[in-house]
Amino acid sequence: MEPAILAAGWELLAERGYAGMSFEELAERAGCSRPALYRRFANKRELVIWMLDNANRDTDPQLSARVAPRTVLIENLWGLVRHLDGPAGIATPELAQARRRDPELSAALDALYQRERRPYVVALDAAFAGALPAAEVSAFVDNMIGAVLFRAGSLRQKISRRQVQQLVDQTLAAAHAIVDGMRA
């Protein structure tokens, strides 16, 4: 039942937006009952957070702890590109609007974002052995993710793996310049 709910949820979110999404239509498309949905999800916000969490899990890379930080960054960004290439990408701009109207959804999305950005922060910090200030690490992570969200999510542009590698390499070069400047 969960795969059917997930697929139907993304379809509805992409077609109708957050405000237009209903449990009744979702149940019909997923082939289950409304009470079954309400037993699993207290409300639409909880459902959408579950959808986002499950969609992110499907595209998270499975990497060894010994993988180079550059590879971790590339694989995680590539997973985000794949995530945004499907219905989630169509729904991303709508969720950005919905978060402005729903403070609880906004807080839940913020918490999800903090969890999802963790591998990037750890990898970038490891790449510079902790020499890059935390604020800089955070800004670089947000810039990488933001570039992908804007191009793939908002503009619906295709992003190639090579472009992801270039974005990571540009980020690493800029971070090196900061660390080198601090050492000089």
Reported confidence tier of residue 57, pLDDT bands at 50, 70, 90: low
* Reported confidence tier of residue 96, pLDDT bands at 50, 70, 90: confident
CA 161, CA 81: separation in Å to the nearest integer? 9
Percent of the chain whose predicted confidence (pLDDT) is above 70: 98
156: left (phi over 0), alpha (psi -120 to 50) or beta: left
Contact 168, 70 (CB under 8 A): yes
Q: 29 with 21: CB under 8 angstroms?
A: no
What would the pLDDT profile of 114-173 be if each residue is shown by its tens digit? 988 999 999 999 999 999 999 999 999 999 999 999 998 888 899 999 999 999 999 999
pLDDT tier for residue 88 given thresholds of 50, 70 and 90: confident
CATH of 45-183, one of 1.10.357, 3.40.50, 2.60.120, 2.60.40: 1.10.357
pLDDT of residue 56: 65
pLDDT at 12 over 70: yes
Between 2 and 164, name the one with better pLDDT.
164
> What does the DSSP 8-state code read for residue 107?
H
Q: Using CA atoms, how far apart are residues 68 and 151, in angstroms rounded to an integer? A: 26
Longest Cα–Cα distance of the chain, Å, equals 65
Rounded Cα distance, 19 and 11, in Å: 14
pLDDT at 55 over 80: no
